[in-house]
Amino acid sequence: MDLILSHNEELRNLPKAPGNNKLVSPYIQKDVVKCFKQEVLECIFKEIGDDVFALLVDESSDVSKKEQMAIVLRYVDEHGLVKERFVGLVHVKDTSSLSLKCSIDSFFSKHKVSMNQLRGQGYDGASNMRGLTNILSQALQRKDQDINEAVQLVEVTKEKLQDLRTNGFEQLLEKVSSFCEKHGIRILKMDEDCFNSRRQKEKITNQHYYEVECFNTVLDMQIQKFGDRFSEASTELLSCMAALHPRDSFSMFDSPKLIRLCEFYPKDFSRTEIIELKDQLEVYHLSVRKDPRFANLNGIADLARVMVETRKYLSYPLLYRLLKLALVLPVATATVERCFSAMKIVKSNLRNRIGEEFLNACVICAVEREALAKVKDEDVLQRFQNMRLRRRKV
**pLDDT single digits (tens) 212-246:** 888 899 888 888 877 776 777 777 887 888 888 88
- Asked whether residue 136 carries a pLDDT value surpassing 60, the answer given is no
Helices (H) and strands (E) in the chain, counts: 19, 4
* pLDDT mean over 109-138: 65
User: What is residue 89's three-state secondary structure?
Assistant: strand
Phi-psi region of 248 (alpha: psi -120 to 50; beta: other; left: phi over 0): left
pLDDT of residue 37: 92
Rounded to whole angstroms, the Cα distance separating 104 from 13 reads 54
Are the beta carbons of 14 and 1 closer than 8 angstroms? no
CA distances for 283 relative to 10, 288, 317, 320, 371, angstroms: 86, 9, 13, 14, 38
Angle, vertex CA 81, rays to CA 80 and CA 86, nearest 5: 135
More confident residue, 353 or 381: 381
Integer Cα distance of 88 and 78 in angstroms: 23
Q: Strands 53-61 and 67-76: what pairing?
A: antiparallel
Residue 214 is classified by DSSP as I
Which tops the pLDDT comparison, 69 or 293?
A: 293
Mean pLDDT of the chain: 80
pLDDT tens for each residue of 96-119: 777 778 888 888 888 888 888 888
Range picked from 136-140, 334-338, 371-375 for highest mean pLDDT: 371-375
**Nearest of 83, 275, 37, 236 to residue 151 by alpha carbon:** 236
Phi/psi of residue 369, nearest 5 degrees? -70, -30
- 37-46, 154-163, 261-270, 344-353: least confidently modelled range: 344-353
Residue 172 has pLDDT above 50, yes or no: yes
pLDDT greater at residue 278 or residue 387? 278
CA–CA separation, 154 vs 136, rounded Å? 7
Query: What's the whole-number mean pLDDT along residues 341-349?
Result: 70
One-letter-per-residue 3-state SS of 6-61: HHCHHHHCCCCCCHHHCCCCHHHHHHHHHHHHHHHHHHHHHHHCCCCEEEEEEEEE
Indicate if the pLDDT at residue 17 is higher than 70.
no
Q: pLDDT, tens digit, for every residue of 177-195?
A: 898 888 888 888 888 877 7
Encode pLDDT of 248-279 as tens digits.
Answer: 889 889 999 999 999 888 889 999 999 999 98
For 208, counting Cβ atoms within 10 Å of its Cβ (0-12 exposed, 13-18 middle, 19+ buried), the class is: middle
Residue 130: what pLDDT? Answer: 38
Q: What's the pLDDT score for residue 128?
A: 37
Q: Coil, helix or strand for 1?
A: coil
pLDDT for residue 235 = 75
